[in-house]
Amino acid sequence: MNVARTTPILSMLPARQVRLVLLGLAVWVAGAAEPSAGGPPVGSTTKSPLIEFAGVARCEAAAGWRLQKDESAADPFLRLAEDPYVIRVRLLGGKGSRYATMDDFLSGFEATTMGRPPEKLRIIKVAGVETWLYRHGYPIMLGDPHVSDPTAVRLAEEEFCLLPTGTRFIVLCWAREDLPDPMGRGEAIWRSFLDSFELVD
């Protein structure tokens, strides 16, 4: 709006109407200067929410993922899910825990593949700690128990690593329970999650 051109017109209007015109002009100018209500200001960044876990760790959750957490259980856990991907954090080795040590966990059914030891993939660094990244399979479709067919067992893959924390230990897991991931989206989110994971002193 050209304010200079409106000055002769304003001089011809009653004082009350002049005040209303000037008020409307001020509101219009203020609205044009503010960012759109439909999004954040230009240049701002949106961070993933930070999650505290059981007083021993914190991490970032991918935006839009469903969160489930229970810190009062004998084995506290945190679960993040966006079908078909699942990320889990578990604190084990405390009083009443299912697994007293990391060796107990590695030899248990939640780390093995049909009784076979988990596969060692590579050494990674999480929260400043070097640890093995493992992979194992677990059945998600057993088929007809009356039919002897080895192809009836379908395995989902899960990657996991272990972090000691005091007298206990943390298990970080990532699983893809359904479709293949040719674009690597789930794996990229898993790597980002590991990068964000921190131990609390």
Report pTM.
0.70
List, in order of start, the domains of the chain with CATH numbers: 3-33 (no CATH), 50-199 (3.40.1000)
Written as one letter, the residue type at 191 is R
DSSP-derived 3-state class of residue 6: helix
Residue 85 has pLDDT above 50, yes or no: yes
Rounded-to-integer distance, Cα 168 and Cα 157, Å: 25
Mean pLDDT of the chain: 78
- Give the pLDDT confidence of 108-136 residue by residue, as tens digits: 999 999 899 999 999 999 999 999 999 99
Written as one letter, the residue type at 69 is K
Q: Is 169 exposed, middle or buried (0-12, 13-18, 19+ CB in 10 A)?
A: buried
Instruction: Judge contact between 106 and 127, C-beta under 8 A.
Output: no
β-bridge mates for residue 91, sequence order: 170
Higher pLDDT, 91 or 28: 91
Rounded-to-integer distance, Cα 161 and Cα 132, Å: 6
Candidates 166, 167, 161; CA nearest to 195 is 161
Residue 9 has pLDDT above 70, yes or no: no
Higher pLDDT, 164 or 25: 164
Q: Radius of gyration over alpha carbons of the chain, in Å?
A: 28
Candidates 198, 154, 151; CA nearest to 176 is 154
pLDDT of residue 78: 96
